[in-house]
Every structure is written in structure tokens, then in C-alpha cells.
């Protein structure tokens, strides 16, 4: 597997968890993953937008994201991340 495969896998998991446009993705490798998911990678989310923060597994998110839904992303080879999703 390559980064490309991991980007595809992460984008699919995010979509399965309800992260679809309009959306914003930040964190680990957020620019290509946002592209694959059809989400923005910069700017500010507006009310109603889904927001996903990708954090390297084993690390803690910012205080704001600690109350969001957390999902462990599995099935990746290179990128080991958890997704914190605001709905």
C-alpha cells in the first residue's frame, strides 16, 4: 500500500461516518485527504459543515476536539490516525 491507498481508505471511512461536503478536514495529511473526500482543507467551517480532525494514533487532540466523536481509522498501512468528528 502507498499513501494514495491510505488517503482513499481514510476518505471512505470519513464518508461512512457522515463527513461529506460541505466539510472541512484538518490534521495529519489533511490536504490530500480533504481532496479525496471532496472537503475543504483551509478556512473556517460554517454552521452545518462537518469537521474532521485527523490526529496521529496515540496523540491527544486539542481541548476543543476532545468532546467530538472519535473513530479509530483501520485498514491503513502508512498513516495511523484517529478521526475526531464534529457534527
Strands 23-27 and 50-56: parallel
Looking at the structure of the chain, the number of domains it has is 1
Domain that holds residue 71: 3-86
pLDDT in tens, 1-35: 589 999 999 999 999 999 999 999 999 999 999 99
In Å, what is the CA distance from 85 to each residue of 1, 2, 38, 80? 25, 25, 16, 16
The pTM (predicted TM-score) of the whole model is 0.93
Amino acid at each position: 500500500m502507498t499513501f494514495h491507498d491510505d488517503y482513499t481508505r481514510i476518505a471512505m471511512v470519513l464518508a461512512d461516518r457522515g463527513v461529506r461536503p460541505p466539510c472541512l478536514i484538518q490534521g495529519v495529511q489533511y490536504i490530500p485527504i480533504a481532496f479525496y473526500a471532496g472537503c475543504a482543507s483551509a478556512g473556517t467551517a460554517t454552521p452545518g459543515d462537518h469537521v474532521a480532525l485527523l490526529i496521529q494514533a496515540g496523540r491527544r487532540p486539542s481541548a476543543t476536539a476532545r468532546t467530538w466523536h472519535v473513530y479509530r481509522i483501520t485498514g491503513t498501512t502508512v498513516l495511523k490516525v484517529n478521526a475526531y468528528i464534529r457534527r
